[in-house]
Structure 1
Amino acid sequence: MALARISALVAQAAHRGDEVTLVRQSAALVHGFDTWRTPPTTQIARSHTSGRGLGPDVSVHTAPLAADEIVTVSSTRATGIVPTVIGVARFGSVADGIVVLDRALRAGVPREALAEAAARCARKPGSRQARELVLLADDGSESPWESWTRVHALALGMPPPMSQLQIVAEGNVFYADLAWPEWRVVVEFDGYMKYRDHPGLDDTEILLKEKEREDAIRAAGWVVVRVTAKALRHRGLFEARLRRALPPHAARLLTPRPHLLLP
């Protein structure tokens, strides 16, 4: 739906002879990146602030773009991957930023390139958030919800986890979403999602497979914390579950970062 809206806007602008460049989440979508949320407006940059003639669902930004920051994706002008990602990290929420940063690292974008781009924005709006999120990004995240689960753990004060840690249990190999080997704690987001795309499995079989997986990991000496979207929306629920899973001495070592969960 969002891509269709973006394509229609680009076509409309071209028909008028108006050159626009997609930025931020709109550019991220064109690059094929996951986004945490899709803004209700298409985000563009142009030489003047007026969105006249482009409709009410357009946000116009006038920050100057260097020629090397602009690329063409499927005949559409957009900021390149690095400026796109840093733009989201600067001006979006923490969830918006961490999701696209994780996706960029997973796509092979060097962290150094992202860090350098964030550093060039020093003393500009959003630069501090962008620099922090570049450091917290993780190429092991396999979905936006995994990224957001990790942010919740970091906000609680947990050290950065290992993503997709290999665990051998009962003759099988499993990959944990988030793990803290020093405390033998694993956090798994909504196990149903791991199997729902497997052909031939109904809901009952999916739940059974997930239970067998968790039982095997627990039998190998790990504490498994299950988390769902509902638990993340009720912040205290996930925090309580994670704290209960930690050894007593670990809870005293946490350094909370509540600003990561600010709107």
Structure 2
Amino acid sequence: MNEEIHTAAIRRITRILATMRAPGSPVRAMHSANRAEAPAPPPALDITHTDGEALSRHVAQGRIERLGRSLYIERRDATAGGDHEQYEQSILREVRRVLENGCGSAWFSHSTAALLHGAWTYRMPRLVHVTHAVNPHVDSDEASIVRRHHTSLPQRDRDQVGGVPVTTKERTLVDCVRTLPTAAALVVCDSLFRGGADPREVDRLMSTSKGKRGIVQARRILELCDPRAGSPGESVARLAAVDAGLPRPECQIEAPTRSGSYYVDLGWEDLKVAVEFDGDVKYSGGEYGDPEAARRAELARQRALEREGWIVIRVRWEDLADLDELGARVRAAYWAALWRRRAA
């Protein structure tokens, strides 16, 4: 029975991906990598002809950063990007350190591989995962954030991204949905399927993982997965709705209005309930255009939807800090729409 649960979820995900790939599909453009470029570990600087005094001066000036013996990188200011950018840069620095110390028969895995594959990440534990095919030798001064795993890793589960050894997208996905916190696991699952993970291979790995730690959570994450999610926030909002006792919402619902058709992020078409996630990026200016114009367009969109009877719940990043409260908001709108339909 348990195998049937994950297989049914895989079939549903396969159908969604086929729809996304179909010529003329309005969501075809969404079937792509999640970032323009996958994050890469910073390159090690060539210090062959640099004396120790100069290196110390550059470190003191904040131009370069020492990661270990004879290992330096250019310092990058990640503070402007907030906590998430700082998290990613700290992981990538440690990846470089592990690479320079020698990987041997080892591949970056779990959440670290997800990041290197270019997947979205959300509130990840600050850990660098390395999976070894042989029992690893661990240096006594190794950073405490490195987690080493010793397990069989067949050739078909091995890959490279930019020359960096990683587990395949499919193996990474299964490792993540088994071991990450629920919200983080769902974000990675949506993202890796969206970025090209093969559902058939995930199906195989799930079947061979029967009885492993976290497999029950993994099955649930696959049941909730939807590669059409347009951002990590949409994935987490979907989780909040389901945890509030609601049916799994659909993603990218076409909503015709007198002003034209819109696609709402997620919701329930039969009840005309829409959950719209407002990421800060659309209001950030630059390549995204005038922020005020973006806000006006968003307001016009909402009014057009409401004229057609839609209830629109707007969600921002700060709302994700309390998923119970967010779920209660969505549940209240869902029940209001349900009573409205019954009273009609």
Show the counterpart of 1:8: 97
Q: Does the residue aligned with 1:175 lie in a helix, a strand or coil?
A: strand
Deviation per CA, 1:189-243, whole angstroms, max 9, x where unpaired?
Answer: 1265445466374443332222111111111211101112222222343233213
Opposite residue 35 of structure 1, the aligned amino acid is T
- Quote how far apart the aligned CAs of 1:187 are: 0.4
Distance 2:288 2:112 in 1: 36
The answer as to 2:162 corresponding to 1:48 is no
Distance 1:57 1:200 in 2: 36
Distance 1:137 1:200 in 2: 28
Show the counterpart of 2:44: none
Show the counterpart of 1:39: 125
Q: Does the residue aligned with 2:113 lie in a helix, a strand or coil?
A: helix
Identity %, equivalent residues? 26
Deviation per CA, 1:18-43, whole angstroms, max 9, x where unpaired?
Answer: 34210101111111111223432311
Unaligned 5+ residue runs, structure 2? 1-88, 340-344
Show the counterpart of 2:45: none
Answer yes or no: is the 8 Å Cα contact 2:244–2:327 preserved in 1: yes
Opposite residue 67 of structure 1, the aligned amino acid is Q
Cα gap change, 1:241 to 1:20, in 2 (>3 Å): same
- Quote how far apart the aligned CAs of 1:50 are: 4.4
TM-score normalised according to structure 2 size: 0.66
Show the counterpart of 2:113: 27
* Count of residues paired in the alignment: 248
Distance 1:122 1:197 in 2: 48
Distance 1:56 1:171 in 2: 56
Unaligned 5+ residue runs, structure 1? 252-263
Cα gap change, 1:175 to 1:50, in 2 (>3 Å): same
Q: Does the residue aligned with 1:157 lie in a helix, a strand or coil?
A: coil
The answer as to 2:181 corresponding to 1:181 is no
Q: Determine which structure has more spread, i.e. the larger CA radius of gyration.
A: 2
Opposite residue 135 of structure 2, the aligned amino acid is H
Answer yes or no: is the 8 Å Cα contact 1:6–1:42 preserved in 2: yes
Distance 2:326 2:126 in 1: 29
Opposite residue 231 of structure 1, the aligned amino acid is D
The Cα RMSD (Å) is 2.3
TM-score normalised according to structure 1 size: 0.85
Q: Does the residue aligned with 1:97 lie in a helix, a strand or coil?
A: helix
